[in-house]
Amino acid sequence: MGYALTGDEKVIYDGLEKAANRNEQLDQFAKIRPLTTAETAEYIKNLRLPLDIEKPHSEALFQQWKGQGLTQRNLTPYEKIFLQPLFPILNLDNINLINGGSLVRSAIKGVGFINVDVTFGNSIYHMGNLPSNYEKPGGFSPFNKNDLGQLAHELTHTVQQDNTIIGSTLGQIPIVGTVFKVIAFSLRYYSELLFLLLSTRNKLAFGFLDSAFSRMHRFGI
């Protein structure tokens, strides 16, 4: 027996379907002639619809996390909706954002990183000016343009580390895999040239960053 949509869910589903169909129509128009100002505004509004529908829920969730003062968190649904088209090969449910505490900061700075965010596998450590966990759980705000851009940048490193020869083979072996992921991490941050040689999708990963800012501009974020 299938799942029956509630009345509110059906309204949302129908609205999303209508917006997608309308944008397909506008895409066809754009192949023939430039879209009018009104059509362009409508197109952007339709693109934003999934984000706009989800935003109140993610805002409530983020406020809850702020109240708890969480040091680390997963991505909100809002962030996932925005980022998933840019990273179709990543399971964004596994991404962990961490507002680096004093011990973590000392360890990471000890190997040469000062005030830069650092990605190790699926964990992204915020290492810049340390915001309060009651202000930005995990160090990133889902609704801040700069934070979204930085997340996109850091996720390219997750893609890179997962798609090196090391990360995609030896990196999958328990315990041994952790050691080799550390090596992949070091290669990424200490030698971009070596990483270019080892990565099978490095150019694609860098393309995601440019796409993220283009996507934000297009969505009016």
pLDDT digits (tens, 9 = 90+) for 148-160: 888 988 898 888 7
Predicted TM-score (pTM) above 0.85: no
Whole-angstrom distance, CA of residue 184 vs CA of residue 166:
7
Measured CA to CA, the distance from residue 152 to residue 86 in angstroms comes to 8
Cβ neighbours for 99, distance < 8 A, ≥ 6 positions apart: 71, 72, 126, 130, 131, 133, 136, 137, 138, 139
Query: Does residue 120 carry a pLDDT above 50?
Result: yes
CB-based contact 14:53 (threshold 8 Å): no
| Mean pLDDT value across residues 176-182 | 48
Q: Taking a C-beta distance cutoff of 8 angstroms, is the pair 91, 101 a contact?
A: no
- Output the average pLDDT for the chain: 76
In tens, the pLDDT along 127-178 reads 766 667 778 899 899 998 888 888 988 898 888 776 544 444 444 444 444 4
Beta bridge partners of 164: 199
Dump pLDDT digits (tens) for 184-217: 555 444 444 344 444 444 444 445 556 666 766 6
**pLDDT at site 111:** 58
Neighbours of 215 (CB within 10 A): 19
Q: Three-state DSSP class for 171? A: helix
Domain ranges of the chain: 58-163+201-219
Q: Which amino acid is at 176?
A: V
| Percent of the chain as helix, strand, coil, to the nearest 5 | 65, 5, 25
